[in-house]
Amino acid sequence: MDKNSPHELWEYVLTQVELSISPANFNTWFRDGSVVKIEDGIVYVGVPSQFFRDWYLRKFNTLLLKIIRSVSYEYRNIEYQIVKDDRRKTKEIRRVSRPTVELPLDDFYINKSDNLNPRYTFESFVIGSFNELAFAAAQAAIHRPGITYNPLFVYGDTGRGKTHLIQAIGNQYKKLYPTRKVFYLTSEKFAVDYSDSLQAGTANRFKDKYRQYDLLIMDDIQFLSKKEKTQEELFHLFNALYDNNKQIIFSSDRAPVAISDIAERLKGRLASGMTIDIGEPDHESRIAIVRKKVAAHGITLSDEVTEYIATAVAGSIRELEGVINSIVCHTQVKGIPPDIAEVRQSLRSFSRPQKTVSVKHVVSKIAEFYGIDEESIYEKTRRREVVRPRQVIMYILREDFSVSYPTIGNKLGGRDHTTVIHSCEKVKREVGSDTELAKEIQDIRTLLV
Amino acid sequence: MIISIDKKELAEAVNSVSRFAERRSTTLPILAGIVIVAGDDGIKLRATNLETGIDRKISGTIKESGVVALPATTFREITASFSGTGTVTLEHGGDTLVISSGTGRSTLKTLSYEDFPILPFPEATTVKFSIQGAQLRNLITTVAACASTSTVRPELASIFFSSEGGTIKAVATDSFRLSEKKLTVSGNTSPFSLLIPAKNILDVVQTLPDEMIEVRSDDHQCAFSCPSMMITTRLVTTSYPDYTQIIPKSFIAEATVLRKDLEASLRRSAVFSDSFQKVRVGFSTGDKKVSISAHNNDVGDSSEALTSAVSGESIELSFNHRYLTAPLSLITTESITLSASGIGRPLVIRGVGDETYLYLVMPMNQ
């Protein structure tokens, strides 16, 4: 038994307790219990209410101590904690399809005074070469708000951590200056709010509302394109805040100049402070991200698995997060982190939809990508400009479409399957070190989707 | 243990205490029991189902002190069947209890009381205030029907009970409708907010007397006490959604109708509602009418028009008729206002001139 797994320890305790007390007692008192965590030799037992805590302390404490000591002498003591209701699993999952629309309660669990999601902090933010500049600018904006970089404009492709960064700025700012007011919103919310205020005839209140903030964070500014009136309002708001040295932060998926259908004067102002781009995370950063995310769930993965996930999941950090969530789920269900074989298996079904593919189609696309003649792929030539594309084709067929080695060899001009294995291994090795090649393969993948 | 108690008083006390005993039989047998403690601080009845617990004092004479536990259902049935006045004597010996009242005499098997849990009372009190039992009951029973019955989201199966600036509020919602009842209190109550499971608090308020109740709570447990009894309940510790954001601030149509009229016409239309219990409510500004209509393929259809003061735009919305009738019995004023905020957005129902009660219901998909 794993001594540090709360789950396993509790299972063991249950089997032992069941032998020593009556079934009615067991069902009443132990059904809803759990071991929350084990720290410094103290086992924290989670119970649903004070009733349970008092009773455990009075009746079962000695019994439980005896049982856990029989597992290990490292456990010194037991503490009882009343766990929050949302930590307890609910047994009943009932979803009746009701025609009545639900009240939008779910949207209101975030902190309503500033709209920030407390989950996004710098502690959980992974800094790598791709975003260190953005991070440094963010720090400067926090420490000298309104002066150094105003406005701060962060842009980058979806899933690169823009929202995380700018919300972390807000949360950090709140911590540093508790008396100042922060507000986070998306540009879409801003537009809706504006049109609502027009409708209700409270445009003045709307103006005052946004002018009171010391730090205003607006996400996904690109959605303002074509909304002229809202842009104008933002323009005035911007001027008001800027003139009073209030810090403003924007994010977008493209640079200010590239946002279409947005007024020139607003464009100029967006770009007037600091404009930084968050690039694509490099290999090392991806590994760091995977490590940090799984560690946040209290799981440690072997280096091999971490490495594999970082390489195999192409695309945004958000996709990476999805894979990590499925691993976390797997670990919670089975009690142990998955090994490389299981991860590979789950990734295959996860990342890209399994497609049946004609080898010919892949060959023609890749040949086209490299600008070589399709026929030459099938020939027995060893010219350099053909060999590389051919290896890439084999790699893609194997990795993305799970075509068997012999089939690949057969279809590509009757090659031996060992040649194919060798090629795939070679490309796989090089993808890790050669960023150029990694980029090429990524581009090819987008062509094939 | 030998004690004698007035018949009526015992019957009433046992009836209220047995409410707190566990009704399911799968758990610990003692939880389905009532414990009688006769000792230095008088006679006390106790029961708990681990969600709530009660400790109730009862007057009587103690000839010999002791503790005994009895199955709640049986004990309640016996005491409820007493007739006439006079006292009843309970005598405990071995594993039986002899109940003798005038002519009758019954022997009842007891439970072993060692397993009876300790009733938990708040340790470090963070919230403390007093309220009339009757007022508390009114607040809770007015909103309780809106709480969710499913346990999937514990916060929605609870009543949100809070105080700020001299107003005490009770709120419940199951995410399809929401009701809020306010009470203005004199004197300064410090702000608090409690989230109490609806099922528990209903049992509590039904049992509490009308007199002044002291409420104390910490993070996990809340106790209601008055000289004659002390009741405790578990609290829900998740956060409650910020419901004030869903209450519409502006409306596109408003109608004032007589409560009696609306109630009657909803009852008639409900007969024709379909399997989704759908009725349509139309605000028509032109002829100053509110129309209620329903259509069911198997039954037929009906439509009614109520004369009313309508302002704003004409609009038609569909509702579950149960959700519309529910608040009507809770509103005390003669006329009520229906305020619509748009298609697919909530309808607000209030009594005219009654600022204390608000009911909000979501329409059905058209």
- A to B CB pairs, distance under 8 Å: 112
Is residue B121 situated within a structural domain? Answer: no
Q: Does A104 touch chain B (CB under 8 A)?
A: yes
What is the residue type of B104? Answer: G
DSSP string, B167-204: EEEEEEE-SSEEEEEEEE-SS-PPPEEEEEEHHHHHHH
The residue among B192, B222, B244 that closes a domain is B244
pLDDT grade, residue A2 (50/70/90)?
Answer: low
At CA B126, angle to CA B125 and CA B130, rounded to 5? 80
The reply to whether residue A93 touches residue B152, judged by beta carbons under 8 angstroms, is yes
> Do the beta carbons of residue B31 and residue A28 sit within 8 Å?
yes
Q: Residue A384: exposed, middle, or buried by beta-carbon count in 10 A (0-12, 13-18, 19+)?
A: exposed
Instruction: Note whether B202 and B269 are same-domain residues.
Output: no
SS3 assignment, position A222: helix
User: Which is more confident, A444 or B180?
Assistant: B180
Chain A residues closer than 8 Å to B113 by CB = none
List the structure tokens of B102: 């005038």
Of B59, B80, B115, which residue sits at a domain end?
Answer: B115
Q: Which helix (H) or strand (E) holds A184?
A: strand A182-186
Q: What angle do CA B55, B61, B66 make, to 5 degrees?
A: 60
* Whether residue A84 has pLDDT greater than 70: no
Assess if residue B120 is contained within a domain: no
Q: Which residues of B touch A27 (CB under 8 A)?
A: 26-28
Query: In which domain, by residue range, is B299 found?
Result: 248-361
- Residue B178 domain-assigned? yes
- B90/B176 same-domain check: no
Q: Which residue of B has its CA nearest to A199?
A: B250
- pLDDT for A116 beyond 90: no
Q: Contact B341/B326 with Cβ under 8 angstroms?
A: no
Residue A110: pLDDT over 80:
no
Same domain, B298 and B333: yes
Q: Give every CB contact of residue B104 below 8 A, 6+ residues apart in sequence.
A: none
In the prediction, which pLDDT does A87 show?
46
Name which of A60-74, B309-323, B347-361 the model is least confident about: A60-74
Side chain identity, residue B75: F
The mean pLDDT of A407-426, rounded to a whole number, is 86
Asked if A105's CB is within 8 angstroms of B243's CB, the reply is yes
CB < 8 Å to B362, chain A: 100-103
DSSP letter, residue B129: E
What is the mean pLDDT of the segment spanning A40-47?
87
pLDDT at residue A350 tops 80: no
Q: Look up residue B273 and give its two tokens.
A: 């509602």
Q: Are B344 and B264 members of one domain?
A: yes
Does the beta carbon of A384 lie under 8 angstroms from any beta carbon of chain B?
no
Q: Cα–Cα distance between A92 and B151 in angstroms, integer?
A: 7
Instruction: Give B228-275 pLDDT, tens digit per residue.
Output: 999 999 998 888 888 888 899 899 999 999 999 999 999 999 999 888
- Single out the residue of B117, B133, B291 nearest to residue A56, CA to CA: B117
Is B265 found in the same domain as B210?
Answer: no
Tell me the chain A residues in contact with residue B118 when contact means C-beta distances shorter than 8 Å: 51, 54-55, 58
Backbone angles phi, psi at B224, to 5 degrees: -115, 125
pLDDT tens by residue, A249-294 = 999 988 888 888 888 888 888 888 888 888 888 888 888 888 888 8
Q: Which residue has the higher pLDDT, A247 or A353?
A: A247
Predicted local confidence at residue A96, as pLDDT: 42
CB contact under 8 A, B246 and A25: no
Quick check: B150 and A92 CB within 8 A? yes
Confidence of residue B211 (pLDDT cuts 50, 70, 90): very high
The mean pLDDT value for B134-158 works out to 90
What pLDDT was estimated at residue B69? 94
Rounded to a whole number of angstroms, the distance from the CA of A337 to the nearest CA of chain B is 28
Question: What count of other Cβ atoms lies within 10 Å of the Cβ of residue A148?
Answer: 16
- Distance CA(B338)–CA(A315), nearest Å, equals 52
Of B50, B239, B276, the CB nearest to A51: B50
Q: Are B281 and B291 in contact (CB under 8 A)?
A: yes
- Indicate the residue among B228, B244, B260 that finishes a domain: B244
User: Which one of A27, A52, A105 has the shortest CB-CB distance to B175?
Assistant: A105
Residues B141, B231 share a domain: yes
CATH number at residue B191: 3.10.150.10
Same domain, B95 and B156: no
Strand ranges for A83-181 from DSSP E: 152-155
Question: Is B98 part of any domain?
Answer: yes
CB contact under 8 A, B118 and A54: yes
Number of structural domains chain B divides into: 3
Does residue B205 register a pLDDT over 90?
yes
Domain membership of residue B122 (yes or no) is no
